[in-house]
């Protein structure tokens, strides 16, 4: 195993993490911003008002993009297992 192989695997892992977390983080940030503007405009100070819509929106986002996320994870895992098989010094 060379340094370039390790760096390639780590880079792929970081890209995968960023790719998978982007929809969830984006929805969370967007809903948080909308709720914060609403709370500032109405001068409400209730903290639970901010969390309930975020939880609902993130849950719905997970239902929509969950299969896509699972497909990306499975593809990456298969790729890693194939790399492990090619790194084996012996023949099966």
pLDDT at residue 48 greater than cutoff 70: yes
Largest CA distance in the chain: 70
**Could you please report the per-residue DSSP string of the chain?**
--HHHHHHHHHHHHHHHHHHHHHHHHHHHHHHHHHHHHHHHHT---SHHHHHHHHHHHHHHHHHHHHHHHHHHHHHHHHHHHHHHHH-SS--
How far, in Å, CA of 37 to CA of 42, rounded? 9
pLDDT, tens digit, 9 for 90 and up, residues 10-46: 999 999 999 999 999 999 999 999 999 998 898 888 8
Q: Does residue 92 register a pLDDT over 80? A: no
Task: Tell me the domain boundaries of the chain.
Answer: 3-87
What's the average model confidence in pLDDT over 40-54? Answer: 86
| Res. 4: pLDDT tops 80 | yes
Q: What is the mean pLDDT of the chain?
A: 89
What pTM was computed for the model? 0.75
């Amino acid at each position: 195993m060379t340094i370039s192989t390790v760096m390639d695997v780590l880079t792929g892992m970081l890209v995968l993490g960023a790719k998978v977390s982007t929809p969830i983080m984006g929805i969370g940030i967007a809903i948080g911003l909308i709720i914060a503007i609403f709370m500032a405009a109405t001068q409400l100070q209730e903290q639970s008002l901010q969390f309930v819509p975020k939880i609902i929106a993130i849950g719905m986002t997970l239902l929509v993009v969950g299969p896509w996320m699972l497909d990306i994870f499975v593809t990456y895992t298969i790729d890693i297992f194939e790399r492990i098989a090619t790194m084996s010094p012996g023949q099966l």
